[in-house]
Structure 1
Amino acid sequence: MGLSSLMIDEVTGLFKALSEPGRLTIIYKLYDAELSVTELAEQLGIEQSAVSHQLKILKNARVVTFRKEGKRRLYSLADDHIYILIEQVMSHAREKRE
């Protein structure tokens, strides 16, 4: 199975987006519930601007999406693929430690 350079770029871009611990934490929070920037900032104990920055990266990587509810934007995972991928990587890491 050959990979095009475009596909390689997309895959490496996705892994780059997932490689920051704060973004992984955001993904786990969004797996449980749809949340606003304010709610994520409160749960993570960080500034809203930092959360917004991380969400922008995740949105550009098509990991998260949002919908508007009044003036709020509620973020959620774009689909379950990312969570499944992360679970697979964590399972691999656990196996390597044992």
Structure 2
Amino acid sequence: MDEEFDFADKVPPSFDRMGNVIKDAEAKGFNPGLIVLLVVVGLLLIFLVGNYVLYIYAQKTLPPRKKKPISKKKMRKERLKQGVSAPGE
């Protein structure tokens, strides 16, 4: 009977290897999902900050937009609303 229990205190080699993998899994560095998340968030942040910088630069350097010319009919209507008679009427 002693012969049957010689290996009772030893772990089979296949299970021993798996135990080391599980112990070393936490010490291998960043999670790949975390790396992808950081890259995507970083690119999005760079995009948004770049757009903001370009917007501020354009506001400072571009000339103001020209207004559309007002038609003569609209000018007459506005003058009549204000109570000023148009010349020649």
Report the TM-score range of the alignment, normalised by the length of the smaller protein: under 0.3
- Please give the TM-score of this superposition, normalised by the length of structure 1: 0.24
Greater length-normalized contact order (CA 8 Å, ≥ 6 residues apart): 1
Instruction: Indicate the structure with greater strand content.
Output: 1
